[in-house]
Amino acid sequence: MTIPARIRYTLYVQPIDLPVFNPVALEVLGLLEDPYTDILDVVRLIGEDQALTAQVLRMANSASYAGRSRCETIKNAAIRLGARQMSNIAMAASHASLHASDSPLVNDIMQDLWLHSHACALGCRSVALSTGQHAVADKAYLAGLLHDIGKLYILKAMDHISQTMDVKHALERSLLQEIFSEMHVDLGCRVMDHWNLPSVYRDVAAYHHAEQCDSRNILLTIVRMVNFNSRNFHLNIYPTLGETGGDHAETSPLFMDDVSWTKMEDAMTASLIHFT
Ligand SMILES: [Fe+2]
Ligand SMILES: [Fe+2]
């Protein structure tokens, strides 16, 4: 299906500040760029947003993150999980809540997209930890979570456009998938630039479908491999047409062994049975 020119034009020129990030979660992310950030700063910032606090606690106590004891407060959770993991959960919890729409079709696709993004976040963190890349495990989580941010932007934008333009015919699954395939990388980069996200995440958004992968970029390598394999676990309902990486080209520089594969699969499929 061809993307109507009017829709293509509108997607590229309309204001970019649609809510694809929670401002508080972005502030938390900013804190993490400072190596001297105190865990209490993260606790205070999350605590300023009641809805975010509730979402973070719910997620921290869910199957993929919970320890033996339940966390009743953000401070408990931060002490148990550490500032970085806590911040990642804040980003993920806020991100989950943005995947909602009054349009049943858009809402349905958003839920699939959330499952995919969250599974990739968990998978990327697992791969980093199991292949000796501990230093980038938290960044790998965020890179996995945000690699398809362009798709969320497209869904928000199409929702917006459908209320202001006569594009009812456009809200069809096949057309949305075509827009994903053609535009989600470019629009993901625009969103990252607009919100001034660190370049490591922008690079992942920019090159996660590129034909050639620079294996020296370990975050990109991890995301590409996990993203591709998400299809094996039915966690990528809308793969990008012509998606590359089918020969697991990224596996060898990561030194994945059987244990790494199993851990990755367990981490990704855990996202199917809890917090949505
Ligand atoms: Fe993608
Ligand atoms: Fe993806």
| CA 185–ligand 1 middle distance (angstroms) | 7
Q: Which of 19, 17, 74, 18 is closest to 45 using CA atoms?
A: 74
How many Å lie between the centroid of ligand 1 and the Cα of residue 212? 15
Distance 227 CA to ligand 2 centre (A): 5
- Please report, rounded to a whole number, the percentage of residues in the chain having pLDDT higher than 70: 90
Q: What is the pTM of this model?
A: 0.89
Close Cβ partners of 240 (under 8 Å, ≥ 6 residues apart): 180, 181, 184, 209
**Residue 176 alpha carbon to ligand 2 centre in Å:** 15
Shortest-distance ligand to the CA of residue 227: 2
Q: Is 241 exposed, middle or buried (0-12, 13-18, 19+ CB in 10 A)?
A: exposed
Cα of 93 vs centre of ligand 2, distance in Å, is 18
C-alpha 110/C-alpha 273 separation (Å) is 17
Going from the Cα of 240 to the center of ligand 1, the distance in angstroms, rounded, reads 6
Mean pLDDT by 10-residue block, N- to C-terminus, for the chain (276 residues)? 83 81 88 83 91 90 77 88 88 91 93 93 95 93 95 92 70 88 94 92 94 87 92 71 51 83 91 61
Q: 76: CA distance to ligand 1 center in Å? A: 35
| Euclidean distance between CA atoms 126 and 225, whole angstroms | 12
Beta-carbon contacts of 63 under 8 Å, excluding residues fewer than 6 positions away, are 270, 273, 274, 275
Please identify which residue in the block is written with the tokens 């900013």. Answer: 30
**How high is the pLDDT of residue 274?**
56
CA 163 / ligand 2 centre spacing (Å): 27
Q: Are 221 and 250 in contact (CB under 8 A)?
A: yes
Centre of ligand 1 to C-alpha 209, Å, is 6
* Ligand 1 mean position, distance from CA 163 (Å): 26
At residue 18, the pLDDT reads 82
Q: Which ligand is nearest to the CA of 223?
A: 2
Question: Tokens standing for 84?
Answer: 């970085």
Distance 120 CA to ligand 1 centre (A): 11
Token pair belonging to 175: 């057309």
Looking at the CA of 205, which ligand is closest? 1
The single-letter DSSP state of residue 171 is -
How far apart CA 189 and CA 77 sit, in angstroms, is 32
- Report the separation in Å between the CA atom of 208 and the middle of ligand 2, taken as the mean of its atom positions: 8
92 CA distance to ligand 1 centroid (A)?
17
Ligand nearest to the CA of 188: 1
**Tokens coding 37:** 């950030």
How big is the chain, counted in residues? 276
